[in-house]
Structure 1
Amino acid sequence: MTDRTPVSLSEAEIAAVRSWVIHEDEAVIAFNKPAGLSSQGGRVQAHTLDDLLWAFARSNGKRPDLVHRLDRDTSGVILAAKTKPAAGFLGKAMQARRFKKTYLALLSAAPEPRSGTIETPLLRQEIGRESYMRAVSADTPGAQAALSRYRTLSATDDGALVELDPATGRMHQLRVHMASIGRPLAGDARYGGALTFAGRAAPRLMLHAAKLTFPHPEGGYRTVEAPPPEDFEALKVAAGL
């Protein structure tokens, strides 16, 4: 679908991106993105998932395009459109908030209350070459409305497994909203998360995009699910969750 200059990929990269496919049909392709892989752009001199989509290029030179993004250290479901009409349809559906995203996160302790809604506005800030989001009051110039829902699935003395639902799609929204109620995500050093969890190292953001429900270009809705990666599961088990 895209006609940018093709990216040269190794056999190992092609095999890897093909192994991440969890759903494919005539219009879309969904992946279980590993943590540590940028969706697009980024300053790290390594191929992004967007680059790796050249593994699916057709004979006419067109290839799928990502419909949305995940943070580099967030694992899980990410969707690409295989045709231009599908990309247009899904882009409009995304803007109309017809996508339902469900995330899993590990926290050092269960939120209080154990389920709820966070509607704190967010403000984007540039600090050096980095972009951050900050929870602010509604009358702050440039503040963006944001809505997140959370639900504690299980909790022990060592931590909690929480389901998160971002009704809006602001950058770092779930991370900042949970930090704003005193429950930053494990491994999220940028927003105050501890780098240990249940007595073990949490060297990255423990956030996983577990499920995506979206309107399909051919009608109806589809739901795609992705199992959490091994490091996430290991910490969950260590905490008895």
Structure 2
Amino acid sequence: MPPEAIALLLTSDDAGRPLGEIVVERLGELGRQAAARGGLWLHRRRVTADMPAVAGETLLVRLPPAGGYCDAPVTLAHIIYEDDDLLVINKPPACYVGDTPWDTQGSVLAVLTQLLAARDGQAPTLHLAHQLDFGTSGILVLSKHPRANAPLHAVFNRGQAQKRYLVVCTGYMPAQAELVTGHGRAAGGRWRLYDQAEIGRALPDGQRVKLAHTRFVLRRQFAQAALVWAIPLTGRTHQIRLHLASLGCPILGDERYGGPTAVAGLTLAHPLLHAAELSLPHPRDGKLLHLFCPSPPVFVTAVSRLAGG
């Protein structure tokens, strides 16, 4: 497996030549793909393959963690709601919603843009209204028109979007649980929880510890696992995953936070976390939208096997 990034020192012989040409010359097919998919970086900024080289600079070629590129498995059939302002899809698990350091072509956003351009004859201007993790499936909202961007972001930033996630976690959950903690990055850069008393404290990265608030409702208890509704009342990165891990009930498939990657004969490549329901006011007329989408097959299979089906 190749490294995730390769540093190339640009020489006097490279000066003035397109960066993409240099990368292909030195790295072959891997370099060609990296150049085509937006994996070239100078001075911590993404650059294009046609940019002329400057001698003495170091070009960073960012590569996929697994050494290969994969487009999000999204089709028009994943659309669950659409109008002139909004596009809502049932995001599959195990794909990125936006650009990554190594790829601008294979994200949900990029693939949807290509699909709608082929369908409608022109490329839409899509913007993500919020984020879902790589492994998380379910409701993802995008704007289709610039007039929807600001009001839509305000809906999510002000907590007017009411979300419910389905999750399968390990252990035994109470009928109801509620966690209020601090949230921020640890010294090593990973997300972690802090005591409530530390909310507002400045962190080394320049950010502050923020409030994280999640409510949990048990839906079904299995032997050493549980199907749970997770209701985030704030929207912090990895919030549900961190809160369940802190309860001693990490999500199945969530290896980062201690969740097992094998259950009932299944090998899990991502957390069993699904954004199942969302209610929000429409950004143009304020009318309430209530959206629901079914869980992906791997989620359904895991629950069935845990239930003895």
TM-score norm. by structure 1 comes to 0.86
Match of 2:21 in 1: none
Q: Does 1:137 align with 2:195?
A: yes
Distance 1:16 1:133 in 2: 28
Percent identical among aligned pairs is 27
Q: Identify the residue that residue 10 of structure 1 maps to in structure 2.
A: none
In structure 1, stretches of 5+ residues that fail to align are: 1-6, 8-12
Residue 96 of structure 2 is matched in structure 1 by: 38
Return the offset for 1:40: 1.1
TM superposition shift of 1:52: 1.7
Using the TM superposition, name which of 153-162 and 96-105 deviates more: 153-162
Equivalent in the alignment of 2:277: 211
Q: What CA distance in whole angstroms lies between the structure 2 residues aligned with 1:38 and 1:182?
A: 27
Q: Which has the larger radius of gyration?
A: 2
- In structure 2, distance between residues paired with 1:104 and 1:178: 13
Give CA-to-partner distance per residue, 1:147-173, whole Å, 9 cap, x none: 001011001215210000111000000
Partner SS, residue 237 of structure 1: helix
Q: Are 1:231 and 2:292 counterparts? A: no
2:216 equivalent in structure 1: 150
| Secondary structure of residue in 2 paired with 1:119 | strand
Post-superposition offset of 1:94: 1.2
Separation (CA, whole Å) in 1 of partners of 2:74 and 2:136: 17
Q: Match of 1:49?
A: 108
Matched position secondary structure for 1:41 = coil
Counterpart of 2:142 in structure 1 is 80
Preserved contact between residue 159 and residue 197 of structure 1 (Cα < 8 Å)? no
Q: How many Å apart are 1:109 and its aligned residue?
A: 2.1
Residues 173-212 of structure 1: pairs in structure 2 closer than 5 A: 173-212=239-278
**1:158 and 1:239 in contact (8 A); partners too:** no
Q: Is the 8 A contact 2:74 2:108 kept in 1?
A: no
How many correspondences in the alignment?
226
Query: Equivalent residues in 2 for 1:92-111 (5 A)?
Result: 92-111=154-173
CA distance in 2, matches of 1:192, 1:138: 23
Q: Which letter does structure 2 place at the counterpart of 1:168?
A: T
TM-score (norm 2): 0.68
Q: Give distance in 2, aligned partners of 1:15 and 1:119.
A: 35
CA distance in structure 1 between the partners assigned to 2:113 and 2:293 by the alignment: 22
Write the distance in 1 (CA, Å) between the matches of 2:186 and 2:277.
29
The answer as to whether partners of 1:158 and 1:198 remain within 8 angstroms in 2 is: no
Alpha carbons 1:93, 1:215 under 8 Å: kept: yes
Q: Residue in 2 aligned with 1:22? A: 80
**Do residues 121 (structure 1) and 182 (structure 2) align?**
yes
Return the alpha-carbon distance in structure 1 between the equivalents of residues 85 and 194 of structure 2: 40
Secondary structure class of the residue paired with 1:73: coil
Distance 1:94 1:74, change over 3 A: same
Q: Alpha-carbon deviation of 1:212?
A: 1.1
Q: Which amino acid aligns with 1:95?
A: N
The higher relative CO (CA closer than 8 Å, separation ≥ 6) is in: 1
Listed as ranges, the gaps of 5+ residues in structure 2 are 1-36, 38-70, 202-207
Cα separation, 2, equivalents of 1:145 and 1:72: 23
Note the aligned Cα RMSD (angstroms). 2.2
